[in-house]
Amino acid sequence: MTLRLSDTAPDFTQDSTDGPISLHQYLGDSWGVLFSHPKDFTPVCTTELGAVARLKPEFDKRNVKVLGLSVDPLADHKAWVGDIAETQGTALNFPLLADPDRKVSGLYDMIHPNANDTLTVRSVFIIDPNKKIRLIITYPASTGRSFEEILRVIDSLQLTDKHKVATPVEWKLGADCIIVPSLSTEEARKLFPGGWDEKKPYLRMVKQPGA
């Protein structure tokens, strides 16, 4: 199954380190990040799970629930949790799905046979409160992810859902934004009475709304 942006995130029920989880019920009215790992007891995955555990307060501030996944069974997950706490200095504080039957991996196209026909790639899905997929990133198994970047994207999505702006390259919370080109000058004056820096008619830089 190939998923695209704005598709509804497939629902599922699967065991996890926090007990059985049904995705849509688990997310409720929150945003969600679902991210997969190729295998338990692997070095890159161990560092990633530690990083997400440390960043969990940042996800919580943004009303985001995080959910990891690996194709290994639950017993292996529970044994791995101790290694993560020991080596990363942070205990796992979010659910890690067990997917030995590859049910979730299949729904989300996380196994790429040309890379490996049994292990998941490093997939990331950001899901909004309407259960729509808003971001899909696929990393190779050898490359650890930047979860600071995932937070940056969530900040952008939450801002641009609320205001008629887009965010430029390397944007971070508090920086100037771009007025969307579909907004006429007259409409922009009503929404942004403080004015903007018009570099080109299609490139209008404005202070971040609400900053």
- The residues annotated as belonging to the active site are 45
Over its C-alpha atoms, the chain yields an Rg (Å, rounded) of 19
Taking the CA of residue 32 as centre, how many other CA atoms within 13 Å lie in the half-sphere pointing to its CB?
25
Taking the CA of residue 135 as centre, how many other CA atoms within 13 Å lie in the half-sphere pointing to its CB?
21
Burial class of 38 by CB neighbour count within 10 A (0 to 12, 13 to 18, 19+): buried
Q: Is 75 helix (H, G, I), strand (E, B) or coil?
A: helix
C-alpha span between 53 and 139 (Å, rounded): 20
- Residue 8 is classified by DSSP as B
Q: Report the amino acid identity of residue 91.
A: A
Q: From start to end of the chain, where are the E strands?
A: 13-14, 21-22, 31-37, 64-70, 96-98, 122-127, 133-139, 165-166, 177-179, 197-200, 203-206
Length, in residues, of the chain: 211
